[in-house]
Amino acid sequence: MSTSLAWDERYAGGGFQFGDAPNEYLLAQARRLRPGLSALAIGDGEGRNGVWLAGQGLEVTSLDWSPVGLEKAQALAKARGLRLQTVVADAASWDWPEARFDLIAWIYLHLPPADRARATAGAHQALKPGGLLVLECFSPAQQGRRSGGPKLPELLWDRGIVERGFEGWEILELTEGAVRLDEGPRHQGLAEVVRAVLRRP
């Protein structure tokens, strides 16, 4: 089972486990962003996505349960002359704010089903009506591949989990299939993922 301490250990060395460039799918959403919007990057680890969003002029909060990861996120933001708010918390038990964010980036945060349901409800609460959720996570077809992802099958996502978890939301994009990852040492090569952009009603 994944723990915050295990993630602290992974992040304790030098370098960036998933690189310091943003996730490609998030990057592809640049046209949907505007300076001044507020964003939450959940499970943001070493901050590559939150810091990139801050670089687009958004006001960003990065949440992760690894303080070591978020320290690196802060250092990355500082090195780029950007502001980043960080919150060390478990996404499953965080006191999610109400209608606070225009965008939530949910990039490779894989949670056990009960925790995923809590975080999904939290995302619903924290997004403003009309706000966007951008998600990329590994799908069941990733099992056995060496390009990254959790070992436990119940942590993986598929289209149905997105559709049921965010029922009633407008689906702007939803795909499940193969992509080629080039994201630091931990995400390299052909990978099977779910990608989605959803709008909160």
Starting at the earlier edge strand, list the strands of the sheet with 127-138: 85-88, 59-64, 38-42, 101-107, 127-138, 187-199, 170-183
Number of Cβ within 10 Å of residue 90's Cβ equals 14
* Sequence-distant (≥ 6) Cβ neighbours of residue 76 within 8 angstroms: 16, 20, 46, 47, 48, 51
Q: Is 115 helix (H, G, I), strand (E, B) or coil?
A: helix
Residue 108 binds ligand SAM, judged by CB under 6 A: yes
Candidate residues 51, 107, 127, 191; the one interacting with ligand SAM per rule CB under 6 A: 107
Q: Are 160 and 177 in contact (CB under 8 A)?
A: no
Q: Is 25 in the site for ligand SAM (CB under 6 A)?
A: no
Name which of 109 and 123 has its Cβ closer to ligand SAM: 109
Helix 67-79 crosses helix 4-12 at what angle (to 10 degrees)?
A: 40
Q: Is 7 in the site for ligand SAM (CB under 6 A)?
A: yes
Contact between 102 and ligand SAM (CB under 6 A)? no
- 192 scored as a contact of ligand SAM (CB under 6 A): no
Under the binding rule (CB under 6 A), the answer on residue 92 touching ligand SAM is yes
Among 25, 29, 33, 49, binds ligand SAM (CB under 6 A): 49
Nearer to ligand SAM by C-beta: 29 or 49?
49
Q: Which of 45, 122, 131, 165 binds ligand SAM (CB under 6 A)?
A: 45
